[in-house]
């Protein structure tokens, strides 16, 4: 079937977040892990390509995004969505702005919008400033993110160093007046040569207004929540294929957590309190001794109890490991070990994988040889169960962005799949 909307996400959990929200519509959503190299085949109405470029060098991120765009265009897509985190994770060098500008050039687009708001998960943009719950971004736990510490809450100011064009704002009072007012504001900014426009949103109704106002843009950018109104707007192209029923999987599972976000720390603590078997990874120990200890531990576990392997730690511990190993090496070590654990668990019979953290999710899906998933129902806003095949086996994966979900997420995810 011809693809009507093509989306590119900067990490794997962000892609599943987006895919899950699109799948709320009941329409078939296909999630590709990495830019496909084969010609489009058996495409879904909504195609989402998950890349691992959030913290890649800007040139590499641009190259990967453009490769994904070319495949989506070949699949028939005429509308495109560039998805990044609802906390606008980036540095002064990018990668949000450079990728958006490159996609605009490829599509001949003179203007696009930026709206990372996700009100359902406590992310709001007001007067150009991003809030996480009631805290400005720069006062939230994101200020201590190990790879992209966010020390400014003003999105206009954050975006300007990342792009060569002008950056402007459509504020909340304008959005409150409706789609016509937003289109008028965008047109005035375009006449002034402003190609990059941050748009305020504090409620789901705002997102519907923004999506309607920008529906004729070749490219829009934002957090996943901005995509929720798009299925209705895309329905005018004709009938859209429905989401298929998920395959059954055995109740053998593993939980793998590499995220060090504040919420994931609480989720790990809650899962430990439930009595689940667990093994904590220490990057310094792993750097010296390798993976054998954790693999030996995993071999002794009953996968029906869904053991947890985690590198999740408080900010001080993360900084200490990074100080000894370097941030990139510390992260790479954890990802490689979690990937090795996923491969081992699959061989031992695990068929359900709950993974916390964008980089960790990318490492695990690559280790399992998964390059495409069908997207099922959400566990919590922005986190669906997804289904694929690995090593000839049907498997289920829940790929969770660090700050998403409640404290009981790990147990809720496993219980929800068992009940479905």
Local confidence band at 2 (pLDDT 50, 70, 90 cut-offs):
confident
Tens-place pLDDT, residues 4-56: 999 999 988 888 889 988 988 888 899 999 999 999 988 999 999 999 899 89
Residue 242 has a pLDDT of 60
Mean pLDDT over all residues of the chain?
92
DSSP assignment of 15-55: HHHHHHHHHTTSB-EEEEES---SPP-S--SEEEEE---TT
Judge whether 8 and 69 are in contact, CB under 8 Å.
yes
Return the exposure string of 155-172: e unless at least 16 CB atoms fall within 10 Å of the residue's CB, then b: bbebbbebbebebbbbeb
Tens-place pLDDT, residues 248-272: 788 999 999 999 888 999 999 999 9
Q: Which fold has domain 5-237?
A: Rossmann fold (3.40.50)
Residue 235 has pLDDT above 70, yes or no: no
Tens-place pLDDT, residues 174-212: 999 999 999 999 999 999 999 999 999 999 999 999 999
Tens-place pLDDT, residues 74-122: 999 989 999 999 999 998 889 999 999 999 999 999 999 999 999 988 9
Residue 237 has pLDDT above 50, yes or no: no
> Which letter does DSSP use for residue 410 in this model?
H
Local confidence band at 244 (pLDDT 50, 70, 90 cut-offs):
low
Q: Partners of 384 in the beta sheet?
A: 378
Residue 246 has a pLDDT of 67
| Dihedral sign for Cα atoms in the order 360, 364, 370, 373 | negative
Local confidence band at 245 (pLDDT 50, 70, 90 cut-offs):
low
d(Cα 253, Cα 119) in Å, to the nearest integer?
32
d(Cα 224, Cα 241) in Å, to the nearest integer?
21
Cα 115 to Cα 25, 128, 403, 413: the distances in Å are 21, 10, 18, 28
Architecture of domain 253-419: 3-Layer(aba) Sandwich (3.40)
For 140-161, what is the mean pLDDT?
92
Cβ burial of 46 (10 Å; 0-12, 13-18, 19+) is buried
Tens-place pLDDT, residues 307-344: 999 999 888 888 888 888 888 888 899 999 999 999 99
Local confidence band at 420 (pLDDT 50, 70, 90 cut-offs):
very low
Residue 418 has a pLDDT of 63
Counting every residue written for the chain, the total comes to: 420
Tens-place pLDDT, residues 278-299: 999 999 999 989 999 999 999 9
Q: Which residues contact 242 (CB under 8 A, 6 or more apart)?
A: 26, 27, 28
Residue 403 has a pLDDT of 83
Please report where in the chains the tokens 């990074």 appear, as a residue.
322
For the chain, domain boundaries: 5-237, 253-419
Residue 241 has a pLDDT of 57
Q: Phi and psi of 255, rounded to 5°?
A: -115, 125
Cα 47 to Cα 16, 19, 310, 378: the distances in Å are 11, 8, 31, 17
């Amino acid at each position: 079937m011809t693809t009507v909307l093509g989306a590119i996400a900067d990490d794997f959990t962000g892609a599943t977040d987006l895919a899950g929200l699109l799948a709320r519509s009941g329409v078939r959503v296909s999630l590709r892990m990495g830019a496909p190299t084969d010609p489009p085949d058996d495409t879904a109405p909504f195609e989402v390509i998950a890349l691992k470029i959030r913290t890649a060098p800007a040139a590499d991120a641009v190259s990967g995004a453009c490769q994904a765009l070319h495949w989506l265009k070949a699949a028939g897509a005429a509308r495109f969505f560039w998805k990044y985190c609802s906390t606008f994770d980036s540095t002064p060098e990018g990668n949000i702005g450079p990728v958006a500008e490159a996609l605009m050039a490829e599509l001949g687009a003179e203007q696009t919008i930026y709206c990372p708001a996700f009100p359902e998960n406590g992310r709001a943009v007001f007067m150009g400033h991003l809030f996480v719950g009631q805290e400005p971004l720069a006062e939230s736990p994101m200020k201590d993110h190990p790879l992209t510490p966010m020390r400014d809450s003003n999105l206009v100011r954050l975006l300007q160093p990342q792009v060569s064009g002008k950056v402007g704002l459509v504020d909340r009072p304008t959005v409150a007046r409706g789609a016509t007012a937003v289109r008028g504001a965008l047109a005035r900014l375009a006449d002034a040569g402003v190609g990059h426009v941050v748009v305020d949103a504090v409620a789901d109704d705002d997102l519907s207004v923004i999506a309607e106002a920008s529906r004729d843009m070749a490219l829009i950018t934002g957090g996943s929540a901005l995509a929720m109104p798009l299925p209705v707007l895309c329905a005018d192209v004709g009938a859209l294929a429905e989401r298929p029923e998920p395959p059954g999987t055995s109740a053998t599972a593993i939980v793998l957590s590499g995220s060090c976000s504040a919420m994931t720390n609480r989720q790990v603590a809650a899962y430990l309190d439930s009595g689940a078997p667990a093994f904590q990874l220490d990057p310094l120990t792993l750097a010296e001794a390798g993976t054998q200890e954790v693999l030996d531990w995993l071999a002794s576990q009953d996968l029906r109890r869904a053991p947890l392997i985690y590198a999740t730690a408080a900010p001080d511990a993360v900084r200490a490991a990074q100080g000894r190993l370097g941030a990139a090496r510390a992260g790479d070590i954890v990802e490689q070990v979690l990937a090795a654990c996923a491969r081992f668990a699959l061989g031992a019979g695990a068929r359900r994988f709950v993974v916390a953290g964008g980089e960790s999710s990318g490492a695990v899906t690559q280790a399992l040889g998964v390059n495409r998933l069908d997207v099922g129902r959400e566990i919590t806003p922005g986190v669906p169960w997804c289904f694929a095949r690995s090593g000839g086996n049907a498997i289920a994966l829940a790929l969770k962005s660090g700050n998403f979900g409640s404290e009981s997420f790990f147990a809720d995810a496993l219980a929800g799949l068992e009940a479905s």
